[in-house]
Amino acid sequence: MFFFPSPGLGAPRQSREGLVRWRSRGVMTRGWGQVAPKKTTERGTSRHHPVWTVSSNFSLKGFSYERVPAVGRRLAWREPCRVKWGERRREEKAGKRGLHKANSVTTDRVRHPSLSSPQLLTCSTTMTLAQSFKLLSGHEIPAVGLGTWQSKPNEVKNAVEHALKSGYRHIDAAAVYDNEKEVGEGLKASGVPRKDIFVTSKLWNTHHKAEDVETALDITLSDLQTDYVDLYLIHWPVSFNKKDDATRFPLHPVTEAVDVIDVPVIETWKAMEALVKKGKIRSIGVSNFTREKIEDLWDKAEIKPAVNQIEAHPYLQQPDLLAWSKEKGVVVTAYSPLANNIYNLPRAVDDPAIAELAKSLGKEPAQLIISWSVQRGTVVLPKSVTPSRIEKNFEVFELPKDVFEKINALDRKHRYNFPARLGQDIFGESDPETLKKAVETWRCNLNFIEPGIDLQSFRKPPMTSYTGDPAPPLHTLAIDSGGGVPNPARLIPPFSTAASSRVMPMFPSLTGEGYAIRRRIGRREAAEEAGRRGSGLQADFPVIQLRQAPLCGGNISSRLPQVSWLKRLSEPLRKFAYVIGSKTPVTMGKIAKMEYFRVPPRWLFVKITDEAGNVGWGEASLEGHTQAVEGCLDAWFERYSGMEADDIEHIWQMSWRTTFYRGGPVFMSALAGIDIALWDLKARKLGLPIWQLLGGKVRDKLKVYAWIGGDRPNDVEQQARARKEQGFKAVKMNGTEDLGWLDSPDALDAAVERVKAVKALGMDAGVDFHGRVHKPMAKQLAKALEPHRPLFIEEPLLSEHLGGIKEISHLTSIPIALGERLHSRWDVKPFLEAGCVDILQPDISHVGGISEMRRIAAMAEAYDVALAPHCPLGPIALAANAQVDFASPNFVIQEMSLGIHYNSTGQDLTSYTHNPEVWKVTDGYIDLLTGPGLGIEIDEAQVRELSKDAKAWVSPGFIGPGGEIREW
């Protein structure tokens, strides 16, 4: 047991001998302690913390004493507390001084009833983690702050208020977060004096010119309800051409990319220095700056940068930059400390190694990472709006050396915040071609229907509010691609001077009376604002959105909409929203080049290029058989070079019908890689998502689930919880480990308990028998799972056992799912005819690609069988599945490999694309893929780099206790 010289334990009384006596509040009768007459000074802080050596004499009736290393937090020495003996429990009140609990202690714990006499217990408690860091300006910055990026409206105020009442004294904000007004409300509502709070804000890229800096700061100060900020940072080392104070991402009127201009950093810096002298800022610094950029500023600056706020977490540790910053006295602040952001990328907080280390210490993974961040000498900014997490994120502690080093070893140099869409190589990590593609991807993330539709084809819309005939007057929603924030909506007759310049040249055959709702947009934020203003509009007529923009990846100039705009329209308006474009002939080219790339963790990508330089990507992954597929691709590449790239079905049929020996996993996986790449190439040249070529979409979003493994289930519940935090509402788990023909019933009981644990989280769970369960055990497990109503049982037996699967399907009411080991519609046919499958799970990379998958989907629908494609593979396979899913009426749910345990090499579903945000899961769904082709943009530089030394993945296999080979 250890004691703190705290008012919460009663006032200490010091005798001449240097003893201190505490009177506790009903927990113990008394305790005596020796005060060690020494003080320590923490690195990076000016605070002096006493080191107390406490000797306590107790009568412990019926208890024994055991010393254990603490993983709990050490309380600041003046913070009120109560310590309850026997439970190592501290019920804390909010510290009036807001001191951080960033410290480690050794605790003494009572455990077994064995002692009957008083014992002398000694414990040394030393504060070893910094509560704050000294800045070059002389001020101090608290080590842990509350981040506010990506906090939703109406959440920030309560989060800030709760954080401050819980002891936080550092709040990080920024103009571009668009929530500083709520931050200011939270600061005020907390009741904590302003002088006790450290407030950071950031200058946005549109206000880098000297004359704009103070204007931006004044807006921030007004929103925050304060007359100064403690720290003001240049948010990014890139400048935008300012349109107005509200526009965050102004677009160039010609390129429609973000309008980047050249403003010397020193110009911005001098303006900030002047504001320090005015008293509006106490310290100034930078954000997202490399060492080279800081060095360039250093010699020119009168006031040196006090802080560099950068992305830093276990997956991106930046040790060289951190070491150099410490040498110069620049404090590093870490944002995105858990290695997660809006793109739903694999998070460090979900890393199995992190989870295991945290579990061993009795802590949450987030607490482990935050403590590691402080221990390595950085300020850290965890973001949360959940009160319990806000509190837990504040509980930092010193990590044991071995744990600290294990986290250090997780560095992947994996950056999550990469604004390549700006066309600027901010971090010195992007080549010109990558930047160009990133800009195009961002600019062209649009959704539209096939160009060339005739206005006269619009007939009476299927609405209940309309009963007359002929059709009501046609209205159009005209979106002007000029710059600026949207003007208020107003009705304009389409043939008036104001509207005819936009409408009439496009539609000369348009007759009759009508109106155009005209809005000006010049950027995405403006489009979204237009949507917010338009959300109250009601309409019982078709709405046509017009937007002039060049088309990515092709040679068509179409009128395309902003997807976010359409999604924000009121339901009646969105229901009849159409987009009209011009039609330009497109010439297809011949296949000029075919390549494949073996990449970690276990994927095989295919790239096809035509004579015009157009590119398509496919995936031919076949786990455990990479070399065999590569051999098949080598033979086919030679055969198909020079063929018309748009003749997808002709190439597919040639592959199938002219080879005599056909089908099988290797053959069909190689064919899938080629087929998917050809679909991607063709759709990109047309400027369409593939689902448009499949007949159009039948849904606007896809229901998805994550696979959480379970081959050797250590903590399936923890993995499920992590997926839930990522937005999933359903998971799939392996039902068992390896089993014999007739194994112990205990293995079945364990499987049931794991399903119950996942269901207790409020998540749906599918159970994958994986074909590793033989019929005697499969029958038992199916019956045992039935009361818990899993989503489905996948592969109750291997697919060659049609009769056994039929028997089990009659035995249980749980839906039977299978298909990953069926490689064509002919393989699927017997199961449909036998009526023993409820959910078909073909794997698009194993069934010959999109061409065969769409035929299988239609075939299944004829038997009233649902489609739920199997996909524990890479981003290309998932995108190809999604394209078919959007166009298939019998689709029910899609598997995603995000964060699965096979992805242990540092690469995951999002690692090879420039637009990983398309995989963001919200309430169990992903949004419609709206980009051309597959809807994803492959990072070819990353693919080529990681393919250089990639090894073929080998199936681990299972060996039974008797040395027998078991099903894997």
What is 937-968 written as a DSSP string? -B-HHHHHHHHTTPPPP----EE-TTS-EE--
Run of H or E residues at 661: none
Of 643, 669, 686, the residue that ends a domain is 686
Residues 659, 774, single domain; the answer is no
**Looking at the domain assignment, is residue 447 inside a domain?**
no
**For residues 623 and 382, what is the distance between their CA atoms, to the nearest angstrom?**
38
The reported pLDDT for the residue numbered 62 is 32
Residues 785, 867, single domain; the answer is yes
Of 686, 714, 749, the residue that ends a domain is 686
Residues 189, 82, single domain; the answer is no
The reported pLDDT for the residue numbered 878 is 97
Q: Does 630 have pLDDT greater than 90?
A: yes
Q: Does 574 have pLDDT greater than 60?
A: no
The reported pLDDT for the residue numbered 144 is 97
β-strand partners of 844 = none
**For residues 803 and 812, what is the distance between their CA atoms, to the nearest angstrom?**
15
By mean pLDDT, which of 376-380, 820-824, 904-908, 964-968 is the weakest?
Answer: 964-968
Residues 92, 142, single domain; the answer is no
The reported pLDDT for the residue numbered 755 is 87
Eight-state DSSP code of residue 848: T
In this prediction, residues 434-457 reach a mean pLDDT of: 46
The reported pLDDT for the residue numbered 36 is 34
Residues 787, 863, single domain; the answer is yes
Average pLDDT, the chain: 74
The reported pLDDT for the residue numbered 442 is 58
Name the nearest CA neighbour of 443 among 713, 603, 251: 251
Count of CA atoms in the C-beta half-sphere (13 A) of 26: 1
By mean pLDDT, which of 482-496, 835-849, 896-910 is the weakest?
Answer: 482-496
To the nearest 10 degrees (0 to 180), the angle between helices 265-278 and 291-298 is 60
The reported pLDDT for the residue numbered 711 is 53
pLDDT tens for 328-358 read: 999 999 999 987 655 556 778 888 899 999 9
**Looking at the domain assignment, is residue 346 inside a domain?**
yes
Residues serving a catalytic function are: 770, 870
Q: If you compute the radius of gyration of the chain from its CA atoms, what whole number of angstroms results?
A: 32
Do you find a cis peptide bond into 382, omega within 30 degrees of 0? no
Residues 401, 470, single domain; the answer is no
The reported pLDDT for the residue numbered 334 is 97
The reported pLDDT for the residue numbered 749 is 82
**DSSP codes of every residue in 764-831:** EEEEE-TT-S-HHHHHHHHHHHGGG--S-EE-SS-TT-HHHHHHHHHH-SSPEEE-TT--SHHHHHHH
Task: Return the higher-pLDDT residue of 36 and 775.
Answer: 775
Residues 462, 595, single domain; the answer is no
By mean pLDDT, which of 127-131, 241-245, 286-290, 830-834 is the weakest?
Answer: 127-131
**Looking at the domain assignment, is residue 296 inside a domain?**
yes
**Looking at the domain assignment, is residue 777 inside a domain?**
yes
By mean pLDDT, which of 254-258, 317-321, 492-496 is the weakest?
Answer: 492-496
β-strand partners of 794 = 768, 817
Q: How confident is the model at residue 650 (pLDDT cuts 50, 70, 90)?
A: very high
**Looking at the domain assignment, is residue 1 inside a domain?**
no
Which residue has tokens 């950068």? 310
**Looking at the domain assignment, is residue 418 inside a domain?**
no
- Specify the amino acid at residue 619: E
Domains: count for the chain: 5
In this prediction, residues 314-330 reach a mean pLDDT of: 96
In this prediction, residues 383-401 reach a mean pLDDT of: 93
Q: Could you give the C-alpha distances from 340 to 316, 437, 676, 850, in angstroms and in order?
A: 11, 24, 30, 32
Is residue 731 helix, strand or coil? Answer: strand
Percent pLDDT > 70 in the chain is: 67
Q: How confident is the model at residue 964 (pLDDT cuts 50, 70, 90)?
A: confident
- Specify the amino acid at residue 727: G
Q: How confident is the model at residue 225 (pLDDT cuts 50, 70, 90)?
A: very high
In this prediction, residues 561-585 reach a mean pLDDT of: 37
Q: How confident is the model at residue 420 (pLDDT cuts 50, 70, 90)?
A: low
In this prediction, residues 830-841 reach a mean pLDDT of: 97
Q: Does 885 have pLDDT greater than 80?
A: yes
Q: Does 78 have pLDDT greater than 90?
A: no
Percent pLDDT > 90 in the chain is: 47
Residues 313, 341, single domain; the answer is yes
**Looking at the domain assignment, is residue 131 inside a domain?**
no
Q: Does 555 have pLDDT greater than 50?
A: no
Residues 700, 674, single domain; the answer is no
What CATH number should be reported for the domain holding residue 300? 3.20.20.100
Residues 466, 359, single domain; the answer is no
In this prediction, residues 460-477 reach a mean pLDDT of: 30
- Specify the amino acid at residue 946: L
**Looking at the domain assignment, is residue 427 inside a domain?**
no
Q: Does 206 have pLDDT greater than 90?
A: yes
Eight-state DSSP code of residue 590: B
Eight-state DSSP code of residue 237: S
Run of H or E residues at 839: strand 839-840
**Residue 766 near residue 720, CB atoms below 8 Å:** no
pLDDT tens for 502-554 read: 222 222 222 233 323 333 333 333 334 344 433 333 333 333 333 333 333 33
Q: Is 176 exposed, middle or buried (0-12, 13-18, 19+ CB in 10 A)?
A: middle
**For residues 372 and 351, what is the distance between their CA atoms, to the nearest angstrom?**
15
**For residues 34 and 350, what is the distance between their CA atoms, to the nearest angstrom?**
44
In this prediction, residues 58-68 reach a mean pLDDT of: 31
Q: How confident is the model at residue 802 (pLDDT cuts 50, 70, 90)?
A: very high
Q: How confident is the model at residue 951 (pLDDT cuts 50, 70, 90)?
A: confident
The reported pLDDT for the residue numbered 863 is 97
Of 408, 424, 445, the residue that ends a domain is 408
pLDDT tens for 670-695 read: 999 999 999 999 999 888 999 999 99
The reported pLDDT for the residue numbered 956 is 72
Residues 6+ apart with CB under 8 A from 220: 173, 175, 180, 201, 229
What CATH number should be reported for the domain holding residue 697? 3.20.20.120
Task: Return the higher-pLDDT residue of 827 and 421.
Answer: 827
Q: Does 101 have pLDDT greater than 60?
A: no
By mean pLDDT, which of 753-762, 932-941, 950-959 is the weakest?
Answer: 950-959
Residues 102, 177, single domain; the answer is no
By mean pLDDT, which of 265-274, 453-462, 534-543, 797-806 is the weakest?
Answer: 453-462
Q: Which domain holds residue 111?
A: 7-125
In this prediction, residues 628-655 reach a mean pLDDT of: 90
In this prediction, residues 643-659 reach a mean pLDDT of: 90
Q: Does 461 have pLDDT greater than 80?
A: no
The reported pLDDT for the residue numbered 275 is 98
The reported pLDDT for the residue numbered 785 is 92
The reported pLDDT for the residue numbered 919 is 92
Residues 681, 696, single domain; the answer is no
